[in-house]
Amino acid sequence: MAFELPALPYANNALEPYITARTLDFHHGKHHNAYIVNLNNLTKDTPLASAPLERIILDTVGDAAKAGIFNNAAQVWNHTFYWKAMKPKGGGAPTGNVAARIDEAFGGYVAFREQFKTAAVTQFGSGWAWLVLDGGSLKIVKTGNADTPIAHGQTPLITCDVWEHAYYLDYQNRRPDYVDTFLDHLVNWDFAADNLG
């Protein structure tokens, strides 16, 4: 039972003008798909081929001999999560329980927004910025390359992919503009509320 590329949760042009169909076609159809193909090749005819993705990630994290499997499994998981962390007409300040928890952890949405943007912009090279639940508290973390909070006992609520392939066609080198757009027009707070439970 091979891993399969999950469909995007919206049409490839649904996030325009903020993220174009051209970016989503490459990002989902080429990059995300490549991680799926690689993971299938690396786990073929092994017990991991039929294991849940989360189990593969937890079983291979920190094992240098299995770095290829970890990197591809984590990138499959991270991308599937990232698509859901955006929606058309998303962005802006959250409401309800997510807003209350952000107020409690960061002292308000404005402070949260500033700290999340800083994390996303200062992740050196490829990686991800996340809002996570860690030991009962909300935290902002950044991870390098394929690394993922679920490998470290944290529960992700949202993520922003800051690999260049996520934004270069639309924003070139202007990562701060892409992060502003993610926060103001794309982030899916309903998804964060679901993940908060």
Binding residues vs Mn ion (CB under 5 A): 161, 163, 166
**Nearer to Mn ion by C-beta: 112 or 163?**
163
**Nearer to Mn ion by C-beta: 35 or 191?**
35
Cβ distance 146 to 171 under 8 Å?
Answer: no
The Cα–Cα gap between 77 and 72 comes to 9
The Cα–Cα gap between 88 and 18 comes to 9
What minimum distance in Å lies between the beta carbon of 95 and Mn ion? 28
What minimum distance in Å lies between the beta carbon of 65 and Mn ion? 25
What minimum distance in Å lies between the beta carbon of 150 and Mn ion? 16
**Nearer to Mn ion by C-beta: 15 or 166?**
166
Token pair for 68: 């290829």
Instruction: Considering only CA atoms, give the Rg of the chain.
Output: 16
- Reported as type and span, the H/E element at residue 159 is strand 155-161
